[in-house]
Amino acid sequence: MSEKKVYVDAQAYRAIDKGAMIVFKKGVIRTEGEIKPGDVVEVYSRAGKFLGKGFVNPNSNIMVRLLTKERDVEVNKELFKERLKRANEYRKRILRYEKAYRMVYGEADYLPGLIVDRFNEIASLQISSVGMERFKLDVAEAIMEAEPEIETVFEKNTGRARRREGLPEIERVLLGKEKYRTIITEGKAKFIVDMRGQKTGFFLDQRENRIALEKYIKGGEKVLDVFTYTGGFAIHAAVAGAEKVVAVDKSPRAIAQAKENAKLNGVEDRMEFIIGSAFSEMERLQKEGEKFDVVILDPPAFVQHEKDLKKGLRAYFNVNYQGLKLVKDGGILVTCSCSQHVDMQLFKDMIIAASAKAGKFLKLLEPYRVQAPDHPILMASKDTEYLKCLFLYVEDMK
């Protein structure tokens, strides 16, 4: 029996009992033994009922990431190997993904603190817990065993979550061939994926939403894609037949890759790329009297922490108000939020308020859209549900 134990309060106990895989520091009432970041600990209720075991980090807001609720399961390479194989089979057998998909999505695949994206023969690995960091080479080997077509495991260990855990930022090939770029197919479009870009190299979570855009492009439309990054929504609009697509992003590096993607798809002659601030560029377009058949808003997470909710909702309101002013009467707005702390109801309330100020009526074109299913939502864990995407028909108030 482990001498390292964590006891949790009634609220944390109920959450774990329903299926939650993380324990926040505020839910811990006491610990036993000498506990260091990355250790495997056993978790108990106040009354001493065994709840599970997992990685601990007493310096983090997420104090324990549960790996198993069975006392006899050992935390080792064999466990990671079995979980990775199961996660990969789910994507391929149930979801029918083939070459580009999220292979592991943290706690939703019972591997909290681990993200793995597959892009053809390259896997991009991202670790956000001290405990998982100790096993990263075992994890890399398990990835290649679970999917033999993968020849490279790239360690894309950057970002705020990692810094909060006290881990260094690292970008390198961890295992296999030195390869950084590949080309993936998504609907009618193709995209260059570069491991040295943002996140794990490409935002796979919007895949189904980008493909859904294609059916609203009948040919000849004028489209604005704000926060375009490497051109995701913009390329789909152009490939589907839009006459002109304006793509805006503040990152010169992202715009450079978006231009490469436009050329790859043979649509560069119908695309205009702007390096600049979303707010200032939308204001400029309004002053110039521009109107668009379709406006797409896919900003970064404006709410990183619950304490920033009010400020972040104001930012979402402002960007959607500006975007709505640029949509033609009878046009379409595609608006998104990847902020975990902004749930669908808050997001709907915000867009309703923004439309009222902009003098617009909105009709929902699609069921509420979320992240792609290879980023599974664990029903017992609100933390696994983060992406919201609304397709809205826009009419002027008259």
pLDDT of residue 165: 83
- Assess whether pLDDT exceeds 80 at residue 1: no
- Assess whether pLDDT exceeds 80 at residue 398: no
pLDDT of residue 134: 92
- Look at the chain and report how many structural domains it folds into: 3
Q: And the tokens for 54? A: 């997992």
Instruction: Based on the fold, state whether residues 53 and 139 are members of the same structural domain.
Output: no
Under 8 Å between Cβ of 112 and 22: yes
CA distance 389 to 250: 22
First to last CA, the chain: 71
Q: CATH number of the domain that 367 lies in?
A: 3.40.50.150
Q: What is the DSSP string of 61-128?
A: SEEEEEEES-TT---SHHHHHHHHHHHHHIIIIIS---SEEEEEEGGGGT-TTEEEEEETTEEEEEE-
Q: CATH number of the domain that 28 lies in?
A: 2.30.130.10
Instruction: Based on the fold, state whether residues 145 and 175 are members of the same structural domain.
Output: yes
Choosing from 179, 196, 226, the residue where a domain stops is: 179
Domain with 256 in it:
183-396
Helix (H) or strand (E) holding 334: strand 327-337
Instruction: Based on the fold, state whether residues 220 and 357 are members of the same structural domain.
Output: yes
pLDDT tens for each residue of 257-308: 999 999 999 999 999 999 999 999 999 999 999 999 999 999 998 988 888 8
State pTM to two decimals: 0.91
Q: Left if phi > 0, otherwise alpha if psi is -120 to 50, otherwise beta: which for 227?
A: left
Instruction: Based on the fold, state whether residues 294 and 347 are members of the same structural domain.
Output: yes
Instruction: Based on the fold, state whether residues 174 and 188 are members of the same structural domain.
Output: no
Instruction: Based on the fold, state whether residues 208 and 304 are members of the same structural domain.
Output: yes
Under 8 Å between Cβ of 96 and 77: no
Instruction: Based on the fold, state whether residues 160 and 203 are members of the same structural domain.
Output: no
Q: CATH number of the domain that 117 lies in?
A: 3.30.750.80
Choosing from 179, 196, 223, the residue where a domain stops is: 179
Task: Please state, as a whole number, how many other Cβ atoms lie within 10 Å of the Cβ of residue 277.
Answer: 13
Q: And the tokens for 165? A: 């855990």
Choosing from 147, 179, 211, the residue where a domain stops is: 179
Catalytic residues: 338
pLDDT tens for each residue of 101-159: 999 999 999 999 999 999 999 999 999 999 999 999 999 999 999 999 999 999 999 88
pLDDT tens for each residue of 209-218: 999 999 999 9
